[in-house]
Structure 1
C-alpha cells in the first residue's frame, strides 16, 4: 500500500517533487522506481493466480473465457492508464483506472464467485492510487457493495446474512488496514523529509562555519603580518635609508652600524615568519619572559630611531603579574604596534613603556596594564584610526580587555591596554599606580 491518501495525486510525493536538494530527489526517485516495480510484480502475480483459479474450477468455457478476457482487459488498462498515473502523478488517470478496476472486479465475481481472490489486488490498488483517504474509503465501500451484492445474487445458497457479514468484515479490514498503512507510510515520508532538511541545514551550517573560520584565520594572519613582518620591513627600509644618507656624508662607521641593525632586524623578521608558518608563539617570546621580550623590543627601537625608551617592568616582589602565554602575546603585539605608531607619527624624543598589575577597583578583579606614553606631537581629535590600531583593539577585546588612546597634558600620546586575569594570577595585590614601585624592583632601560 502507499501513502497517497493526503497527497495531490498518485506517484512520488509532492514534497519530493518540490525539494531543491538534487541528491535527495535522486534517492527518493530511485526508491519510488523500485517500489513501482514491486507493485507491478504483485499485480501481475495476483492476476496470474486469479486466472489459474478460474481455470481450475472448471466452469463453463464461455464464462472462463469471459473472465480471462476481463483479466486481460484489466492488465492492459493497468499498463496504459494505471502505470502512467503512478509515474506521472495524474489524478484523473488514477481515478479512471480505479473505475475500471472496480467494474472489472465486480464483473469477474458476477461471472465466477471464485474471482473474489482478486479483491486482494483491488483493495491494495485502491489505496495505492487514491488521492485522499476519503476517496479511498468511498471506493473500497463501492467495491465491497458491488462484489458482495453480486455474490448475494449469484450464490443465494450461501445465505444473505452470511454474505453481508463477510462483506462487512472485508470492508472493515480493508479500510482499517489501508488507513493504518497510509498513516505509517506518511509519517515515514515526513520523517524522511525532516531528516533531509536537517542534513541540508547541517551542511549549510558546516559550510558557514568553515567560511567564518577561513575568514577569521585570514584576518588573524593579516594582523600577525602587520604586527610583525610589516613593522620589521618598515624598520629595514628606514635603517637602509639612514645608512645611505650616512654613506653620502662619509660616515662609514655609522652606516656600518645601521647595516648591522638591518641584518639583525631581517633575522628577527625571518624568525617571526617561521613562527607564523609553524603557528607558534611570537619569536620574541620563545624561551624568554614578556619582560625580556619588551626589553629587547625597547632596545632595538632605541637603536633604530634614536628615541629614548624608558622601560618599567616589575621583575620580582609584590604586584608582579603572572600571565598566560596568550596574554603575553597580546601585550607584546600591543607594545609593538604602539611603538610603531610612535616611529611613524609622533616625532617623539622620549617614550615610556610600563607594564604593571592592575584591574578594576570597583569589583576587585585582577588584571594587567600596559602603558605606552610618548612626548611627541600628540593625536588630533579628528584623526581616524588606522588598521594597526583597529587590529590592536580587536586583539585586546578578544582577550576580554580594553584599549584607551588619548593625549597627555604635556603633549604627546598615551596608549593604555588593560587585560583581565583570573583571581590569583598575581603574586600579590595589584597596583594601579602609573609610577614604578619604590622598592627597586623595576628594570629601567634608557638609551646609552
Structure 2
C-alpha cells in the first residue's frame, strides 16, 4: 500500500498484492473491502448522472457529460476494478488518467460535475502505490477543476474573475484531499506493519507449537522406551532364563524343579502383562497400584531371589512426603539396579535399602538437597565382581540418571571396598523426613552398566 513517507516499497518486502492482503487482515479481507469501494463508486457515478439529467444541462453539453461519465464507468470496470484487486500499477494509472480527464470534461460542461471529485480523489489514494504520483494527480485534478469551472464555453476562454473565485475553493479541496490522503496512507502503513507483525507472530507460534509437539513426541518416545526397558524387557529376560533353566531340569530328569521354574515363568509373564496394561493406560506401575513402595520393593526382591537364587536383604524405613511420581522413580531405579546385578555382577548377596537421607549440614556436600534438607535415599549394593576398567554406562543406567535428574535427584555408582558395586539414588522430598534408620554396616553393591 502507499507509504506515508513517500519511499518506494522495499524490494525485499512483500509484493503489492501481499501488502494489500496483510493490511486487510486488520479489519477483514481485502476482497470484502474492495466490494464496498465498488458500491461507493457506483453510487457516486449514478448520483452524478442523475444530477446532470435533472439539472439545466441540455443538448450537446448533456450528451458530452453523460458520455464522459460513461467512459469513467467503463474505465473502472475495465482497469480500475481489476487494479484495486491485483494492485497492478499500470492499469491503476491508466484508469486514473482517464477518470481525471473525463471528470474535467464533465465539470467543464456543468459545475455539478464536481460531484465526481468525491470518487476520483479517493481513488487516487486507493489505487496508486506511490506518494509523489498521488500528490501530482491530486494537484492536476484540483487545478484542472478550477480551470474547468472558470471556462466559458461561449467564448472558449477561462475568465480571470471566475478563476480567482474558483481557485481558493479548489485549493481548500486540494488541501483537504492531501491531508486526508496522507493520513489514510499513514494509517494503511501502520496497518501493514501490524499485519506483518501478526503474520510473524502466527508463524512463530506455529513453529513453536511444532517444536513443542516434536519435543513432546520425542520425550514420550523416550519415556515409553525407558518404561519398556525397565519392565517388559527385564521380564522377558527373566522368562527366557527361567525357561532355559526349566529345559535343563527336564534334561536331567528333575520334573519338580522344572515345574517350579515354569510356575515362576507364569508368574513373571503375568507381572509383565500387568505392566504392559499399565503402560498402555499410562497408569502407575502395576506393583504400586496394589500396595506401597515398600511392598513393591519386597515383591521385587522376592522375585529376584526366586529367579536368580541370589539372596536379597531389604531394609525399608518410613519416608513421608513422596509423590507417586517419585515412588515410580525409586521403583524403576531399584529394578534397573537389580537387572544389572543379574547381568553383570555374579553376586551372592544384595542389599536394597530405602530411607531418609542425611539432613543438610550433617553430611558431605551434596547431601540433603531438598527443602529443609529432606531427601530420600535408595541404595542397591552387591558383593559381585565390581566395576571393571573401561566400564561404559548403557541405556539402562543413562535412563535411570535422566529419570532421577528430572525429579531433581542424583545417581552415584561406585565400587565398594573388597569388591562389589553400590548404586546410590538420592531424591529431594517436599516435607521433613524422620531420622535415618540404621542401614547395614557392611554391604557390597550392584554393577550398573546396562
TM-score, normalised by the number of residues in structure 1: 0.84
Residues 405 and 15 (structure 1), Cα distance of their counterparts in 2 relative to 1, 3 Å cut: farther
Cα distance, 1:144 vs structure 2 = 0.8
Q: Any unmatched runs of 5+ in structure 1?
A: 438-448
Q: What residue is the counterpart of 1:64 in the other structure?
A: 62
Q: 1:406 aligns with which of 389, 394, 414?
A: 414
| Alignment pair present for 1:397 and 2:397 | no
When the two chains are superposed, the root-mean-square deviation of aligned CA atoms in Å is 3.1
Residues 366 and 8 (structure 1), Cα distance of their counterparts in 2 relative to 1, 3 Å cut: same
| Alignment pair present for 1:207 and 2:210 | yes
Moved more, 173-182 or 257-266: 173-182
On the 8 A contact 2:146/2:163 being kept in 1, the answer is: no
| Alignment pair present for 1:237 and 2:240 | yes
**Equivalences for 1:249-288 in 2 at 5 Å?**
249-288=252-291
Q: 1:81 aligns with which of 69, 79, 82?
A: 79
Q: What residue is the counterpart of 2:39 in the other structure?
A: 41
Q: Distance in 2 between matches of 1:277 and 1:150?
A: 86
SS at match of 1:404: strand
Cα distance, 1:283 vs structure 2 = 1.7
Q: Any unmatched runs of 5+ in structure 2?
A: 153-157, 443-450
**Equivalences for 1:407-446 in 2 at 5 Å?**
407-424=415-432, 426-428=433-435, 430=436, 435=440
Q: What residue is the counterpart of 1:308 in the other structure?
A: 311
Residues 346 and 25 (structure 1), Cα distance of their counterparts in 2 relative to 1, 3 Å cut: farther
Cα distance, 1:310 vs structure 2 = 2.1
Residues 390 and 259 (structure 1), Cα distance of their counterparts in 2 relative to 1, 3 Å cut: same
Deviations 1:300-348 (A, max 9, x none): 1111111122222235xxxx55533222211111111111111111111
SS at match of 2:34: helix
Deviations 1:202-250 (A, max 9, x none): 2332233223222222221221111111111111111111111111111
**Equivalences for 1:365-376 in 2 at 5 Å?**
365-376=373-384
Q: Distance in 1 between matches of 2:200 and 2:348?
A: 65
Residues 55 and 133 (structure 1), Cα distance of their counterparts in 2 relative to 1, 3 Å cut: same
Q: What residue is the counterpart of 1:440 in the other structure?
A: none
**Equivalences for 1:284-295 in 2 at 5 Å?**
284-295=287-298
Q: 2:393 aligns with which of 385, 391, 407?
A: 385
Runs of 4+ in 1 over 6 A off after TM superposition: 4-9, 23-28
Q: Distance in 2 between matches of 1:379 and 1:250?
A: 38
Residues 313 and 34 (structure 1), Cα distance of their counterparts in 2 relative to 1, 3 Å cut: closer
Residues 125 and 314 (structure 1), Cα distance of their counterparts in 2 relative to 1, 3 Å cut: closer
On the 8 A contact 2:147/2:163 being kept in 1, the answer is: no
Q: Distance in 2 between matches of 1:373 and 1:16?
A: 73
On the 8 A contact 2:2/2:131 being kept in 1, the answer is: no
Q: What residue is the counterpart of 2:343 in the other structure?
A: 344
Deviations 1:81-118 (A, max 9, x none): 33343343222332232222222222222222221121
On the 8 A contact 1:7/1:131 being kept in 2, the answer is: no
| Alignment pair present for 1:222 and 2:225 | yes
Cα distance, 1:14 vs structure 2 = 4.2
Q: How many residues align?
A: 422
Q: 1:124 aligns with which of 100, 122, 125?
A: 122
SS at match of 1:392: helix
On the 8 A contact 2:3/2:186 being kept in 1, the answer is: no
On the 8 A contact 1:137/1:175 being kept in 2, the answer is: yes
SS at match of 1:250: coil
Deviations 1:361-409 (A, max 9, x none): 3475221111112122222332222211111111111111111112223
SS at match of 2:430: coil
On the 8 A contact 1:376/1:412 being kept in 2, the answer is: yes
Q: Distance in 2 between matches of 1:114 and 1:24?
A: 38
SS at match of 2:29: helix
Q: Distance in 2 between matches of 1:4 and 1:89?
A: 14
On the 8 A contact 2:17/2:87 being kept in 1, the answer is: no
Q: Distance in 2 between matches of 1:90 and 1:60?
A: 38
Q: Distance in 2 between matches of 1:14 and 1:111?
A: 44
Q: What residue is the counterpart of 2:447 in the other structure?
A: none
On the 8 A contact 1:4/1:128 being kept in 2, the answer is: no
Cα distance, 1:161 vs structure 2 = 4.6
Q: What residue is the counterpart of 2:446 in the other structure?
A: none
